[in-house]
Amino acid sequence: MRKVDCSQIPERRCAVYNSALQTGVFLIAVRAAGFAAGPMAGFDKAGMDEEFFAGTSWRSQLVVNIGHPGADPWFPRLPRVPVEDALAWA
C-alpha cells in the first residue's frame, strides 16, 4: 500500500481523504459487529456543524445510521435504463 505524504497536499484535502478512509474502516467494523449501516452524505453539513460542533474545529463528513434492519427491509433492484438506450458505441 502506498504511503500518502500529507506534507505535499493541502491540509484540508488530506483531512478529507483520511476521513474517507476511516469511514470505510468504520462501516466494515459496524457491519462485522452484526449491525446495518447506512452512510448519508446529502445533509446540511453547516447546520450539523453548528448544532453539534459549534466552537470547535470539528467538521462533519457524513451521517451514518446504525442499527438492526426491520422485518423484510430489502426490496428488488430498481429498474435500470437498458444499455442500448444509455450507450452509443462509436
How do residues 8-42 score in pLDDT, each as one tens digit?
667 778 888 888 899 999 999 999 999 999 898 88
The C-alpha atoms of residue 32 and residue 30 are separated, in whole angstroms, by 5
Hunting for cell 476511516 — which residue is that?
A: 22
Give the separation between CA 14 and CA 17, rounded to whole angstroms: 5
Q: What is the pLDDT of residues 33-71, one digit of tens each?
A: 999 998 988 899 999 999 999 999 888 888 999 999 888
